[in-house]
Structure 1
Amino acid sequence: MKIDLNKQSSEIDERNSTTIEDAYPDRSTYRPGEKASVIVRVRKRGGEKFTGALMLRVLNLAYEIGKVEYPLSITGEGVREYRIPIDLPEEDFRGYGLDIELIDDSCTVIDKASTALDVLSEWPLAPRYGFLSDFSPEEPDSEERIRHLSKYHINVVQFYDWMYRHYLFLPPEDRFIDGMGRILSLNTVKRKIKLCHRYNMAALAYGAVYGAEPEFFNEHPELALYDARGVAESIQDLFYIMDIRKDSPWYRLIIGEYVKAVNMLSFDGIHMDQYGFPSEGFVGGSKGLRVLLDEHFGPMIDDSASALKAVKPEAKVIFNCVKNWPMVKVAQSNQAAIYIEVWPPYTEYSDLRKLILQAKEAGHGRKQVILAAYMSPLGDAKPEGPSGNEKLIRAEAATRFTTVSIFASGGFHLLLGERDGALCDAYYPKYAKLRPQFAGIMRRYYDFFVRYEQWLVNFNMKDVSELVLATEGLLHIGYGQLKYDSAGRAGEIWTLIHKGPDFITVNLINLTGHRSGYWNFPHPAPPLLLNIPLELGFQAEKVYLASPDFNFGQTQELRPELNQDSCSGTSSGKTCFNIPRLEYWDLIIIPIDRDDYNLREAKNQANWI
């Protein structure tokens, strides 16, 4: 996408200029062997004819793997859209940067833009989860909403509260009133499913595992769960908790509704929801059979997945572990990813990382982890003009830090949906609307996440942060001038280190301006840090730096400092360099050769390489 902050605006004559207005791939993701195209929107101002070209480079890290020159000849003012086909390697689970230059007929670069894309055989490899919750009969802009999600590279979408009832998904007619009193349209749901498929997004139907409206409970009270007092378990008498044991009629009913959604509406799976409570109940009344719900979620997940695959082999399910419960018990179930809805006591940045690490361990490192971390500050702050206000700016900073914390910890963030919407409440229709400037920033972050996904969410990497930082001589930042640690504390540079099969990454997250480590809390924008010394306890042949905050997210090689005396202690076997700037998040990538002598020496100090 376009990053206006990097444009040299002083060099552009706004009255008679040609600029790149936007750039993005035509789909959210691509399957191996699938043809890809990049859409570039060019704005022409003034009456003079423009002759030049768009130069598009495809990169994996710093390595160019493709290049396209697309000639331009533009007369007249206005915006023109160009679709540029590109060839991609067929290698699975790979992200690529797309760097675009607009050059004139004298070969002068007059504007730049950047975006990203990736190649995935299936969405669970990198589940960039989004949401849809608007299904009104008169919705005029469904395609634009889905296109916006595609620009964020969202490749799997939860259709939240799309159904007629929680116990009866399909309505009697197209236009209907749902259980919360909203007027919805089944045709709108169908249209959005079809549009998701056009942009290579999987569409998952929301379906609570045990929620039923009052009319169903009144007709079938024997299927409900009750507390020890004999009171039916419910959410404010809106949705009643049903018995989910395998031999319960409800069990067969709800799985049958899941199958109908996939078979009749072409959904690609089910988002299986639960409410986080109760943990137990009694069937039919206080004297009935005691049911521990966490013993029954796993079998229900497996049976639902099997039933869906019988009608659509590629269909998948996701299950909601509210407050991380019961994550460990269901991690090995037949679900496509581990999904956790984050609530207290998980209130700090470090908690987000712990949730991801625990889930990866419980999933044996073979399932990606999605955190539904709703940003309530966005709901509390309302835009006031294009530049926002202080409350909104702090809410936006908190959102960036939360997303960065999840991405840098190796997870995925359910946040974005509809048209530049962001979740700020557990009831998704209450989503906040991002102002255009901040939507552009978030696109930049998602571009970055896709571009470097093999160094951020690689199944074969592990977190070695504590091990490295506790070992003398392996990594130093700032030579005593800056505090850094892996704990995610306020006032420090949060330093997260991962080891992959052929790389090491160092994530630097700038919490130096924070007064607290709470993620769901307004925070000021961070102070800009410049020229940060960083020392590695081994000699690295190549060190790369990238950031979504500058340089279009592009990779730049860091050159070792010529004055090795700047290293603390002896310079033997060390690599020293300066990080030119740190705003929110910097990613340092160090390719490694396992046979390299210097790395073998480092391994003697700590078994981390």
Structure 2
Amino acid sequence: MPTSSVPPAAPDLLPTKARYAADEPVLVEVRGDVTGELQVHHLGELVRTVPVAGVGVVDLGTLPEGGYGVRLVPSSNGPDASVGSDATDAPEAAPLRTAVLVTDRPRARMRYGFVASYGQDKDVAGVVDLARRLHLDAVQLYDWAYRHADLLGGGPEYQDALGQTISLATVRRLAAALADAGSDALGYAAVYAVGRDEWASWAHRAMLRTDGEPWTLGDFLWLVDPAARDWQEHLVADLQGAVRELGLAGFHLDQYGFPRRAQLVDGTPVDLARSFRSFLEAVRAGLPEQRLVFNNVNDFPTWATADAPQDAVYIEVWPPHTTLASLAEVVTRARAAGAGRPVVIAAYQHVYSTAPAAQADQATALTMATLFSHGATQLLAGESGHVLVDPYYVRHHAAEPSTLAQLHRWYDFLAEHDELLLAPQAADVTGAWVGAYNEALDVTYPEAPTSSDAVAGTVWRRVVDVDGRLVIHLVNLVGQADTEWDAPHQPPGDPGAGVLRMRRAGSALPTVLVADPDGSGRLEPVPVVPDGEYAAAPLPPLATWQLVVVDLDGAR
């Protein structure tokens, strides 16, 4: 009897949606022939087990709001018995796992992806799979429109301003499929760009340089005042039409970072920080229900737009924001100005174009560790398995399997520990707890110093208060020559065996849980021993990033 030459599908777990409401069942698709049980953990605590046998969709039931890790524990004699045990396997041999996020505030977080091609044969299923796998609750549809100042004027199929073929049927399919997967499709739209064919109609709204020539982007876009009322009415009407015709959930509103100040045709000065805010207010008035995201290019003008009527604080970073410390500072400012809105950083990892994947993956790991530990997310992954290496998203980079596996682990980790990482109320309390004066809590290593700053050769140590818990972030910079986020990096060095020492709050011993995105991925307890007024806990070996959660009051 002939046998099929098609290999069986690799075992996999995939949530059916990027996010779930608290009143809807959480469904996980099982791919491949597996038998065992799915274990559901919340912040280290096992909260549910559900049996699984073979392919299909497993119903985990409803879950309270929060992030959850889901892991397969295989049957000892099942066909998947070699999938691995839970705690200490290397990442490539790790057990099947995924995560789910349950929330009744779908715009309180933003895990952002991208799409940049819209041919008739587009692999929409691949895009949706990546959104589900990485829990991307919003996907930017980059350069989908006919023209910057005429979004829908090209008919059902056309070439965009840079010659890429677009099928609006594909845009509709993407928007609908992403919506079914719990993700918002956001159409790209520039807030002040006019192409050659439309320029004659808008030259009266030009922003001028000192020599009287209009501001342009290259030789194909002219820039107009985004606060001009007739321009606002025109573009808002186009955006409304795109929602009606394509089912878009909202818009990514872009600018180019210049000019900061300009002059209009009639000599009136323009402050772009004010004009951008005026534009956002006009778009919100015209699209009260849609998800809106504005690009603060290189942190301009975050101070003026972070609390404008939009749904995230989004910043595309460029020099001088080149180090891990500068990323942290950008996020800290954005969180302070954003009135609780999620913070997303567009940090394009150009390093994938110039360095081996392993060195680029380590750069990305350090970038993610910095952003996630400071309460922000990164726009990096998209399409069906690509990463951004260029501001023109069409020039994206096909990710290696190692890169996709790393992103899977780290985005699962982000979703599972959502309440500890992205809570708006999280407060950096490092200076109030560590150091000789405080003598309250610290981590030491025998082979490397710790530092409250991102310094090469150290373990970058921060302490954050999240609803009374102390969350310690340990980012390993040992063995690195620099802290550039978009440069090749070596594997993390070994600082030796870490010890957490903390002053006790009373007679009870503190509890300490530790998690690592490249380890088991979930919070696990470590032993705590008394030492007079203090208590000490040995920490597991440090890879790139460790999350340490301390409850000084002990078990409750």
TM-score, scaled to structure 2? 0.92
Residues of 2 paired with 1:199 and 1:411: CA distance?
23
1:305: Cα distance to partner?
Answer: 1.2
Residues of 1 paired with 2:323 and 2:408: CA distance?
24
Task: Say if 2:29 is the partner of 1:29.
Answer: no
Counterpart residue number, 1:131: 114
Aligned to 1:147, the other structure's residue is in SS state helix
Counterpart residue number, 1:181: 163
Counterpart residue number, 1:39: 29
Counterpart residue number, 2:413: 448
Aligned to 1:582, the other structure's residue is in SS state coil
Contact 1:495/1:507 (<8 A) preserved: yes
Which aligned pairs between 1:84-233 and structure 2 lie closer than 5 A?
84-89=58-63, 91-92=64-65, 94-104=66-76, 110-111=82-83, 112-139=95-122, 141-233=123-215
Residues of 1 paired with 2:80 and 2:378: CA distance?
40
Deviations 1:102-140 (A, max 9, x none): 10459996434221101122432120011111112232x
Deviations 1:509-566 (A, max 9, x none): 1111111111111111112455312212335531100111112x122101114xx5xx
Is the deviation greater in 205-214 or in 532-541? 532-541
Which aligned pairs between 1:569-580 and structure 2 lie closer than 5 A?
571-580=531-540
Counterpart residue number, 1:256: 237
Residues of 2 paired with 1:573 and 1:19: CA distance?
56
- The letter for the 2-side match of 1:582 is L
Aligned to 1:137, the other structure's residue is in SS state coil
User: Which of 337, 353, 371 in structure 1 is aligned with 2:345?
Assistant: 371
1:262: Cα distance to partner?
Answer: 1.7
Counterpart residue number, 1:498: 464
User: Which of 586, 591, 595 in structure 1 is aligned with 2:546?
Assistant: 586
Task: Say if 2:241 is the partner of 1:297.
Answer: no
Counterpart residue number, 1:543: 512
Identity level (%): 26
Is the deviation greater in 55-64 or in 438-447? 55-64
- The letter for the 2-side match of 1:423 is L
Counterpart residue number, 1:525: 491
Contact 1:445/1:548 (<8 A) preserved: yes
1:479: Cα distance to partner?
Answer: 5.5
User: Which of 330, 335, 338 in structure 1 is aligned with 2:310?
Assistant: 335
Contact 1:409/1:496 (<8 A) preserved: no
Counterpart residue number, 1:354: 329
- The letter for the 1-side match of 2:302 is M
- The letter for the 2-side match of 1:454 is E
Counterpart residue number, 2:319: 344
1:589: Cα distance to partner?
Answer: 1.0
Counterpart residue number, 2:89: none
Go from structure 1 to structure 2 and tell me whether the alpha carbon gap of 1:81 and 1:529 turns closer, same or farther (over 3 Å shift): farther
Contact 1:19/1:102 (<8 A) preserved: no
Task: Say if 2:459 is the partner of 1:487.
Answer: no
Residues of 1 paired with 2:221 and 2:155: CA distance?
23
Contact 1:283/1:290 (<8 A) preserved: yes
Contact 1:298/1:330 (<8 A) preserved: yes
Contact 1:135/1:162 (<8 A) preserved: yes
1:508: Cα distance to partner?
Answer: 0.6
Contact 1:193/1:203 (<8 A) preserved: yes
Residues of 1 paired with 2:180 and 2:80: CA distance?
37
Residues of 2 paired with 1:510 and 1:554: CA distance?
19
Counterpart residue number, 1:6: none
Counterpart residue number, 1:605: none
Is the deviation greater in 475-484 or in 454-463? 475-484
Aligned to 1:34, the other structure's residue is in SS state coil
1:437: Cα distance to partner?
Answer: 2.2
User: Which of 420, 441, 449 in structure 1 is aligned with 2:385?
Assistant: 420
Aligned to 2:540, the other structure's residue is in SS state strand
Counterpart residue number, 1:515: 481
1:157: Cα distance to partner?
Answer: 0.9
- The letter for the 2-side match of 1:32 is A
Is the deviation greater in 392-401 or in 158-167? 392-401
Contact 2:447/2:494 (<8 A) preserved: no
- The letter for the 2-side match of 1:263 is R
1:81: Cα distance to partner?
Answer: 2.4
- The letter for the 1-side match of 2:233 is R
TM-score, scaled to structure 1? 0.84
Residues of 2 paired with 1:150 and 1:414: CA distance?
15
Counterpart residue number, 1:403: 368
Deviations 1:427-461 (A, max 9, x none): 11111111112201110000011001101111221
1:270: Cα distance to partner?
Answer: 1.2
Counterpart residue number, 2:438: 472
- The letter for the 1-side match of 2:347 is A
Counterpart residue number, 2:299: 324
- The letter for the 2-side match of 1:473 is E
1:203: Cα distance to partner?
Answer: 1.1
1:371: Cα distance to partner?
Answer: 0.5
Contact 1:116/1:451 (<8 A) preserved: yes
Contact 1:502/1:594 (<8 A) preserved: no
Go from structure 1 to structure 2 and tell me whether the alpha carbon gap of 1:502 and 1:592 turns closer, same or farther (over 3 Å shift): farther
- The letter for the 1-side match of 2:283 is S
Aligned to 2:498, the other structure's residue is in SS state strand
Contact 1:20/1:102 (<8 A) preserved: no
Deviations 1:465-490 (A, max 9, x none): 23323443123322564211121111
Task: Say if 2:546 is the partner of 1:556.
Answer: no
- The letter for the 2-side match of 1:476 is D
Go from structure 1 to structure 2 and tell me whether the alpha carbon gap of 1:446 and 1:595 turns closer, same or farther (over 3 Å shift): closer
Residues of 1 paired with 2:180 and 2:392: CA distance?
27
1:20: Cα distance to partner?
Answer: 6.9
Counterpart residue number, 1:9: none
Contact 2:510/2:528 (<8 A) preserved: no
Aligned to 1:123, the other structure's residue is in SS state coil
Residues of 2 paired with 1:276 and 1:182: CA distance?
24
Residues of 2 paired with 1:592 and 1:97: CA distance?
25
1:220: Cα distance to partner?
Answer: 3.2
1:222: Cα distance to partner?
Answer: 1.3
Deviations 1:393-415 (A, max 9, x none): 21121111111110011111111
Contact 1:20/1:40 (<8 A) preserved: no
- The letter for the 2-side match of 1:273 is D
Aligned to 1:531, the other structure's residue is in SS state coil
Alignment gaps of 5+ in structure 1: 1-17, 45-52, 73-79, 382-390, 565-570, 597-609
- The letter for the 1-side match of 2:36 is L
Residues of 2 paired with 1:115 and 1:213: CA distance?
44
Deviations 1:35-70 (A, max 9, x none): 1211222348xxxxxxxx421111111222211123
Residues of 2 paired with 1:595 and 1:87: CA distance?
28
Contact 1:177/1:184 (<8 A) preserved: yes
Residue correspondences, number? 535
User: Which of 244, 251, 264 in structure 2 is aligned with 1:283?
Assistant: 264
Deviations 1:144-194 (A, max 9, x none): 222122111101111111100010111432210101111111111111111
- The letter for the 2-side match of 1:227 is R
Residues of 2 paired with 1:240 and 1:462: CA distance?
43
- The letter for the 1-side match of 2:349 is M
Counterpart residue number, 1:274: 255
Is the deviation greater in 340-349 or in 107-116? 107-116
1:223: Cα distance to partner?
Answer: 1.9
Residues of 2 paired with 1:148 and 1:202: CA distance?
14
Aligned to 2:541, the other structure's residue is in SS state strand
The RMSD of aligned alpha carbons is 2.3
Contact 1:377/1:522 (<8 A) preserved: yes
Residues of 2 paired with 1:167 and 1:237: CA distance?
16
